[in-house]
Structure 1
Amino acid sequence: MTIEAVLFDFSGTVFRLEADESWNADLTAADGRVFDLDEKAELVRRMTSPVGQFLGFDERGQYAWDNRDLDPEEHRYAYVEVLRRSGVPTLEQAERLYARSVDPACWRPYPDLAATLESLAAREIPVAIVSNIAFDIRPVFARHGWADLIHTFVLSFELGAVKPDPRIFRAALDKLGVEAAAALMVGDSAEADGGATALGCAFALVDPLPTVERPDALLSVLRANGLAS
């Protein structure tokens, strides 16, 4: 069947949280040593990985982790705990770093995102962003001037369902007014985003590489599905 709508995951698919030199002021060890690039990359991975649990928690922390994508306060608690248990020495530093993770300015688009959204708009293919997340990501798109290219956002904390729960994909399909068999889901997790296939959607997997290392994966997906030249 011809693709009539495209659903995109957010983190690791169309945008990526990336640590830069500005993190150094908020990321020093107890002895004053600045975290190296590999350590910062590992922190980002733990803050953004769509599935898996990297650390053990006490009962309060486990509850926050299990519900992190459904409630903003649990999300904050869980990831501040992740930062503290990953070597960030003070609560103050962890809270500043967490604030960066929810700051629209700290999310970088993949290089081909603009061309991808424009190509779909030119073909009148509606787009949904379907994300397991506990903060509003609409401002991330707005600051790049792309808000009008997204037809709907389906966010776990607003809906009360987390991928791969079929309800989150069904909500997106209903808002776009398309059948599952006519939709393509694009994401970086076969486990979470690939849950759309249970409804009959097509699925394309992309690698959540650093933005500079993945110049055209989104456009490649469109070309493979006849949605870009």
Structure 2
Amino acid sequence: MTAIRGVVFDFYGTLVRMVPPLPPDHRSIFARHGLVEAGRRWGDQWSVGPGEGEEHRAHSGSERAYTAWERDRLRSRARACGVPGDQLEELVAEVDRAMKDLHLALFDDVPGALAELRSRGVRVAVCSNWYWHLDRSLADVGLTDLIDVSVSSARVGARKPHPLIYRAVLDRLGLTPEETVFVGDVWRPDVEGPLTAGMRAVHLWRADRAVDGQAPPLVPGAARISGLAELSDLLWSASATDPARFG
């Protein structure tokens, strides 16, 4: 088995979690504008972003272009829910701000796991379906000095599990897929996508995970851990060269 020279992590649910104060429910924002019924029609406030695996390079050429595209999606949804034109821009701006006003904290096992990788000379990356300023979010939780490369879907122009985002992170790491392991908590973007791209994958199934349901059965090339403290042993124990450790 090819030696591991890089480890790529998902961000939310893998390295960080949301902590209070939580973002306001969109219905409270609509209610303040006297638009209770429109808020009810809106539905899930988190379902307005690009879809999983969606390519959007045409909108990712600059922060200004991407932000305009984000606002256009919100604007279209608000119109469809019956928001009057004279209230549209103020409401959309407030919803956009609220959806990005996330208070994040590291899982306790993150600093030690990343420091261990760096001590072994392994390059560390974060690859996330995230907004434009993933770098700011990394800095806010104190990860800047533990990360070599960060790649967000907003800047690359495609969301996991689109192959473009995996190619981008590998190119920036300067590594081949065979030299790289992807670690994340969501099966399709963090396991199936990386495996298709030629990487090995580690499915992180935390006890306090954000993902509901049962863990899917492991497949060839994939392993599973319940916390990042287990990662070093998985990758470098005496039997780590055994392909059976990855499915």
TM-score by length of structure 1 reads 0.66
Could you tell me how far 1:97 is from its partner in structure 2? Answer: 5.0
Q: Against the structure 1 CA distance between its residues 45 and 109, is the aligned structure 2 distance closer, same or farther, given a 3 Å change threshold?
A: farther
Counterpart of 2:14? 13
Could you tell me how far 1:126 is from its partner in structure 2? Answer: 0.8
Counterpart of 1:139? 136
Task: Out of 175-184 and 185-194, give the one that drifted further.
Answer: 185-194
- Is 1:189 matched up with 2:186? yes
Counterpart of 1:155? 152
Task: Name the CA distance, whole Å, in 2 between partners of 1:97 and 1:78.
Answer: 12
Counterpart of 1:38? none
Task: Name the CA distance, whole Å, in 2 between partners of 1:19 and 1:93.
Answer: 23
Task: Name the CA distance, whole Å, in 1 between partners of 2:20 and 2:75.
Answer: 16
Give 3-state SS (helix, strand or coil) of 1:192's partner: helix
Residue pair 1:141, 1:147 contacting (<8 A) in 2 also: yes
- Is 1:165 matched up with 2:162? yes
The residue identity in structure 1 corresponding to 2:13 is G
Unaligned runs of 5+ in 2: 33-42, 61-65, 82-86, 211-225, 238-247
Task: Name the CA distance, whole Å, in 2 between partners of 1:120 and 1:152.
Answer: 14
TM-score by length of structure 2 reads 0.62
The residue identity in structure 2 corresponding to 1:226 is W
The residue identity in structure 1 corresponding to 2:123 is P
% same residue: 26
Task: Name the CA distance, whole Å, in 2 between partners of 1:158 and 1:113.
Answer: 25
The residue identity in structure 2 corresponding to 1:139 is R
**Quick one: which of 116, 122, 126 aligns to 1:125?**
122
- Is 1:226 matched up with 2:223? no
State the Cα RMSD in Å: 4.2
RCO comparison, higher one (Cα < 8 Å, 6+): 1
The residue identity in structure 2 corresponding to 1:5 is G
- Is 1:73 matched up with 2:68? yes
Task: Name the CA distance, whole Å, in 1 between partners of 2:133 and 2:91.
Answer: 23
